Amino acid sequence: MALREVLQFPDPRLKQVSEPVSEVTDEIRELARDMCDVMYDEPGIGLAAPQLGESIRLIVVDTEWTEDEEAERDPLVLVNPEIVAREGTLTWSEGCLSVPDYTADIERAARVSLRAHDLDGKPVEIEADEIQAVCFQHEIDHLDGVLFIDHISRLKRSLYVQKRKRALRDEAEASAL
């Protein structure tokens, strides 16, 4: 089966606030599998359902894996995740599959406490720090219609928007030939 396409900025669906998942169904489990496939293929360490055009509160995260074919994959699949506590601050260089060709230093909480449910509907509580804390914050932002570039200065964001518009225009012109 073909991998699902990752929505890219400036797709307006990335700015929508996602709806809570009321029940974990086979369709939700299939979406979670698709999200993991896309995350590992890209490669990335996290993905939110809105990035695949599904406006629901579902994320997948795997900050432990490497691109080594032999490496074990053990993604966290979290339904309706919410951060219930934040501590400290750190700055991390972030990128995003939905924001191509751009990275920026973003200030985030250094540690977070998270509540969610797994695909069996069981409650999950996670204490995370460093890259995992950053990844949870980044992916949960997607559920709220927030991109990491919403955390940078207006000037830097404006420069990226201009660059992205130029790239999209160039792609459109090239495909018209």
Q: Is 23 a catalytic residue?
A: no
Q: Where are the beta strands (DSSP E) in 8-110?
A: 46-48, 58-61, 76-87, 90-96, 99-108
Question: What would the two tokens of residue 127 be?
Answer: 């204490």
As given in the structure block, the two tokens for residue 6 are 């990752």
CA contacts within 13 A on the Cβ side of 111: 3
Active-site residue, selected from the candidate residues 23, 139, 171, 173 = 139
Given a contact cutoff of 8 angstroms between Cβ atoms, the answer to whether 133 and 111 are in contact is yes
Look up tokens 């940078």; give the residue.
Answer: 152
Do 11 and 140 touch, CB atoms closer than 8 A? no
Active site residues: 139
